[in-house]
Structure 1
């Protein structure tokens, strides 16, 4: 690598650390902040659902602009800048709809960041998976560090702490993008034309998307209320932060061996394992969360719930579909599973939670959703997920 490339890689690593560090601030602790503002659990769930829906619209919108203009870095910086400006409104947003609008806009702009960052990084490292892995690793480091720091800060400061931390991290993120450079070799992608609906109207694909959607529905209770739940059970902010960070740490570990596991056991079997293990994880949280060590060990299942499941799903997409539609299939996967599934899960969890009195019912419902995904997976055979799509030429 040249000196310029080394500098760019350092800047990319910092950008990943700040991007995922912001997720480590807002994802676990947004519920704590909203509770401090006096919102009910139903309102928290509804707000989470609205901002999650932006994950359906945002990625396709920004990807379309990037594809037409080829200005990947400009869109990345624009997304970061607009995210900062829209987030400023949170400091004065005390009504439900004002805060929902502010957070929804922030998330819409936020969705422009990661896809462009991924494309930029892959071109910068010339597709070298080892270099990419070293850069991407800093995202997990950023998440863990910020999650633990903000969790500890909540032990000493008010529930407004997450938004002050977010403002600082988002501003630093924008500054870090100013040090990035777009490689001259990057070209617009004109190959991804035509409709993908023909590929989606397939039993294996439909089951795959619904199964992942159900898994994300089950995550609604965890993303929306885990930190509040731990606080209500008497855990400190530091303990909660460490538990969340543990989940991300084991997720990093599973990424390192995911390909070997997929090669040995196959996509179908690993997806089934992830779904059933996640069902167990939510059941333990709903019934035995007052025992620290059980919660501690349940967080190890995050390696399956997210890490292995996501790696296995990506392997399925890249093997099952032709390469020229991988980007749009991934967008459909993210939009339908994480966007729609996540929004339904957040909304439902908020309705059931009832300021904590419905914690068991919420996690029990989450457990049933994950198990239901496993049962649905029985509609297709393991061999069907290791083949190619019938339209794959």
Structure 2
């Protein structure tokens, strides 16, 4: 076996995934708690989340372009993770809104360099072995779950600054782990692809697919920005909040294992409509009945549909509906428009409506309406139109 696919290389990649997604398990649920502890209003929290999310529009394409043209995948990964650490240090002294926004925006811009390059390194190292990829990628979910629970518990004993101390340690660990990775020798710069994607994006089915996903991610603004704060205000402990978030990720991992069978049986259109409408119900439950723990508990199972199954179905649609040579750019458009633009608008709108918790019911109800609207948008096309090129 080549050095690049040795046991050490697999362990190093698994550790990098665990730390990368472990950082998401810290910053995504608990950034709002940290910002609230620093005295920021819900409007400012929403605005800051929006700025961070917008970096997902610019960053991935920028770094991917450099990586494709130079072939220096590992160097860009290390550079991104190192600059993320350096920029994140500023958070410890960032008490003004604009300074913290600048620091977090820069951090996220550098952060977007890491995962795409890590994915390329992994796939090249294991030579496309999907089973080994699944085992390596699983450590990302484990890292997310473990860090989410640990930081949730830390909030029960320490100040609201606990998430940024945890993030700093994880980011340093990720940079150190990147130094143990090796770049396979078969990675070379890619030639530019001449096929234009705009004619494909003007297609009615493609437009409605992107719009429905943008509405779904818009609906997530309330959850990503304010769920942990919401649970705290309702009297839930940090440990309970961490376990609830971890539950959502755990069932998400489970749905990935059966997603392909569900897609084969029910098709893209039916599953996407079902996922979007179920997500609308999830937000409605959170907005009106969150004081009942068992309802919040069971609503977290819908995360398997809200993200896991919907994302798997979306990837399947992109892979089968569009020509092979533009899959990468279509996926980038999907991430930028849905997760980037849709997520940013959702974060900003949630911040305007939240009103330090007084508008929680309105915010989650609006989120539910957006998710449901995403499902209804797909009624403008037929199941056969979404599946016709598979």
Aligned to 1:32: 33
Q: Which moved more, 1:114-123 or 1:140-149?
A: 114-123
Does the alignment pair 1:209 with 2:210? yes
Q: Partner of 2:253 in structure 1?
A: 252
CA distance in 2, matches of 1:262, 1:149: 35
User: What are the residue-to-residue correspondences of 1:264-283 with 2, within 5 Å?
Assistant: 264-283=265-284
Distance 2:44 2:243 in 1: 27
What is the distance in 1 between the residues matched to 2:120 and 2:3?
A: 21
Partner residue, 1:185 = 186
For structure 2, which runs of at least 5 residues remain unmatched after alignment? none
The equivalent of 2:286 in structure 1 is: 285
Q: 2: CA distance between counterparts of 1:191 and 1:208?
A: 27
Contact 2:4 2:183 in 1 (8 A): no
- Once the two structures are TM-superposed, the CA of residue 198 in structure 1 deviates from its matched residue by 1.4
User: Matches of residues 187-336 of structure 1 in structure 2 within 5 Å?
Assistant: 187-190=188-191, 192-336=193-337
Cα offset for 1:38?
A: 0.1
Q: Distance in 2 between matches of 1:167 and 1:152?
A: 17
Counterpart-to-counterpart distance in 2, 1:102 and 1:266:
43
Counterpart of 1:66 in structure 2 is 67
Between stretches 18-27 and 325-334, larger displacement belongs to: 325-334
**Deviation by residue 1:134-186 (Cα, 9 ceiling, x = unmatched):** 00000000000000000000000000000000000000000001111111112
Alignment of 1:103 with 2:101, yes or no, is no
**RMSD over aligned Cα, in angstroms?**
1.0
**What are the superposed Cα offsets for residues 108-152 of structure 1, whole Å, 9 maximum, x if unpaired?**
000001111111111111111101000000000000000000000
Give the TM-score, by structure 1 length.
Answer: 0.98
The gaps in structure 1 that reach 5 residues or longer are: none
How many angstroms apart in 1 are the aligned matches of 2:144 and 2:263? Answer: 26
Report the equivalent of 1:151.
Answer: 152
Which residue does 2:128 correspond to in 1? 127
The SS at the match of 2:156 is: coil
How many Å separate the matches in 2 of 1:364 and 1:7?
A: 49
Partner of 1:82: 83
| 1:378 match: secondary structure | helix
- SS of equivalent to 2:196: coil
Residue 175 (structure 1) aligned with residue 189 (structure 2)? no
CA distance in 1, matches of 2:195, 2:318: 18
Contact kept in structure 1, 2:83 and 2:107, CA below 8 Å: yes
Distance, in Å, in 2 between the alignment partners of 1:181 and 1:192 is 27
Q: In 2, Cα distance between the equivalents of 1:84 and 1:173?
A: 9
Query: Is the Cα–Cα contact under 8 Å of residues 191 and 324 in structure 1 kept in the other structure?
Result: no
Q: What is the distance in 1 between the residues matched to 2:327 and 2:119?
A: 14
- Structure-1 separation of matches of 2:73 and 2:326: 19
Aligned length: 389
Q: Does 1:92 align with 2:96?
A: no
1:192 Cα shift? Answer: 2.6
Q: Is the contact between residue 196 and residue 329 of structure 1 (CA under 8 Å) also seen in structure 2?
A: yes
1:22 alignment partner, SS class: helix
Report the TM-score, using the length of structure 2 for normalisation: 0.98
CA distances 1:329-358 after superposition (whole Å, capped 9, x unpaired)? 110000000000000000000000000000
Could you list the runs of 4 or more consecutive aligned residues of structure 1 that deviate by over 6 angstroms after TM superposition? none
SS of 2:185's partner is coil
Deviation at 1:191, TM superposition (A): 5.4
CA distance in 2, matches of 1:178, 1:29: 28
Is 1:142 matched with 2:161?
no
